[in-house]
Amino acid sequence: MADQSLSTPAVRYDPAWRRRIADGQKPAIAAIDLQHFYGQGELKKQVLFDNNLEIYPGEIIIMTGPSGSGKTTLLTLIGTLRRAQQGELHVLDRPLHAATNADLLSLRREIGFIFQAHNLFDSLTATQNVRMALELADPNGKKSEQTALARELLQAVGLEHRVNHKPKQLSGGQKQRVAIARGLVHRPRLVLADEPTAALDEQSGRTVVELLRRMAKEEQVTILIVTHDNRILDVADRIVNLVDGRIRSDVLVQEAAIVSQMLLKCDVFKHMTPRGLAEMADNLKSEVFAAHQRVIREGESGDKFYLIRTGSVAVKRGPQESQIATLKSGDFFGEMALLTGEPRNASVDTLEETTLYSLSQEQFQKAIAEQASFETEIRTSLFDRQ
């Protein structure tokens, strides 16, 4: 359901790719074979099964799934509101499966919770409700500074005109936004949100999502959102679908990430630095070809490298143009002529409407040059060590 509303098909997330581009950075959340049970004895019921999940700092993950599939349970385990019973769970560098209560307490201060039940205090104003989170995190903090921060956050969620209102004087959506401000005001490193935009109109939902996006991209905050709200899917880096307590799919949805994951599968690029890859992804041009169109012709000189984003192509060779291969999404072609300087050794025709990403010869050579210097670096460092 979630994937259908995206304009381009998503691509299955490859953890190996992420580890590669993480460049030594550790995941903010890592679940390894995580299980969870409710109840005891005969009533014991398993609700999470063998879940493996890695989320890196600065990533926004949206989790979807049918009611009762275990989304909130997983969120509460990560948020230390429940104990992980079996398997491993690492959150912000702490192994929760082996943590003491004091560890959990200190970890909780670094997490921002936005859960559906608002739990606002009726006798406190919006500002006071938000400031409460700061007072808990830093009881000795300066009140005037905490008030200013609380106001800033209320403004960021579009409630600057409601700062002195009490919950009873606010609409459902406004209360929800106060709860969101409260969950974010102490600058958490990790935000766990359960249906944060459910009660919000389109515009307030956008404001909140934009705020989360900025926190992720500018401050490397890790964000995990459980939602059924199709309007906000575009903010996600990945969409994880949980069904019957198991992760059914984990897909990348941001185009730059999809492309760099695809590029790493090509030998020519596999030693590129994360920065080089991102630069290359930026330089790709997208072109849509109708069905049965020729993309390259055997014998012509080559000036581009192609990556198939969607659709499929046939590779043909010889006077009879016999088909020697079919290539599909994630495959690439055209690199040989660029590598050897010889004419194209095959023709390529689309089999259906196909979106191709292409890289000019110049950019391609630059990528090769970077890889060459990488190899030289490796060789030099090996040599130096001897």
Ligand X SMILES: Nc1ncnc2c1ncn2[C@@H]1O[C@H](COP(=O)(O)OP(=O)(O)OP(=O)(O)O)[C@@H](O)[C@H]1O
* Near ligand X by CB under 6 A: residue from 11, 17, 56, 69: 69
What the block records as the tokens of 13 is 């997330």
Residue 65's binding partner, choosing from Mg ion, ligand X, none, with beta-carbon cut-off 5 to 8 A by kind?
A: ligand X
How far is residue 154's CA from residue 162's CA, in Å, rounded to a whole number?
8
Does position 314 bind ligand X by CB under 6 A? no
The item of Mg ion, ligand X, none sharing an interface with residue 70, based on CB under 5 to 8 Å by kind, is: ligand X
Residues counted in the chain: 386
Size of the site for Mg ion (CB under 5 A): 1
Residue 262 gets the label, from left (phi > 0), alpha (psi -120 to 50) or beta, of alpha
Tokens 């069905």 belong to 291
What contacts 24+ positions apart, CB below 8 Å, involve 365-368? Answer: 365/338, 367/268, 367/269, 367/272, 367/276, 367/280, 368/268, 368/339
The 8-class DSSP code of residue 380 comes to: H
- Beta strands at 222-226 and 60-64: parallel, antiparallel or unpaired: parallel
Q: How far is the CB of 52 from ligand X (least distance, A)?
A: 18
- Residue keyed to tokens 């969101």: 180
Which of ligand X, Mg ion, none does residue 67 bind to, with CB < 5 to 8 Å depending on kind?
ligand X
Residue 38 contact among Mg ion, ligand X, none, beta carbon within 5 to 8 Å by kind: ligand X
Q: Is 160 exposed, middle or buried (0-12, 13-18, 19+ CB in 10 A)?
A: exposed
The SS3 of residue 250 is strand
What backbone torsions phi and psi does residue 143 show, to the nearest 5 degrees?
-60, -45
Question: Closest separation between CB of residue 171 and Mg ion, Å?
Answer: 23
Only one of the segments 34-42, 69-77, 169-177, 322-330 lies at the binding site for Mg ion (rule: CB under 5 A); that segment is: 69-77
* Contact pattern for ligand X over residues 46 through 65, marking x by CB under 6 A: -x-----------------x
Under rule CB under 6 A, residue 70 binds ligand X: yes
3-state secondary structure 294-356: EEECCCCCCCEEEEEEECEEEEEECCCCEEEEEEECCCEECHHHHHHCCCCCCEEEECCCEEE
Select the binding partner of residue 95 from Mg ion, ligand X, none (C-beta < 5 to 8 A, by kind). Answer: none
Report the alpha-carbon distance of residue 229 to residue 286 in Å, rounded: 29
The nearer residue to ligand X, 68 or 341, going by C-beta atoms, is: 68
Q: Does 72 bind ligand X (CB under 6 A)?
A: yes
Does residue 73 bind Mg ion (CB under 5 A)? no
Alpha-carbon 383 to chain mean position: 39
Q: Taking the complex as a whole, how short is the minimal distance between the CB of residue 62 and ligand X, in angstroms?
A: 13
Among 17, 30, 71, 240, binds ligand X (CB under 6 A): 71
- How many positions of this chain bind ligand X (CB under 6 A)? 11
Residue 67 in contact with ligand X, rule: CB under 6 A: yes
* C-alpha span between 29 and 313 (Å, rounded): 39
- Binding ligand X (rule: CB under 6 A), the pick from 38, 155, 243, 362 is 38
To ligand X, the closest distance from the beta carbon of 67 in angstroms equals 3
Which one among 33, 68, 248, 340 touches ligand X, defined by CB under 6 A?
68
Residue 73's binding partner among Mg ion, ligand X, none (Cβ under 5 to 8 angstroms by kind) is ligand X
Residues in 234-263 at the binding interface with ligand X, rule: CB under 6 A: none
In whole angstroms, give the CA distance from residue 39 to residue 33: 20
Figure out which of the listed residues 72, 129, 207, 358 binds Mg ion, where binding follows CB under 5 A.
72
Among Mg ion, ligand X, none, residue 69 binds (CB under 5-8 Å by kind): ligand X
Report the interface residues with Mg ion, using CB under 5 A: 72
Report the interface residues with ligand X, using CB under 6 A: 38-39, 47, 65, 67-73
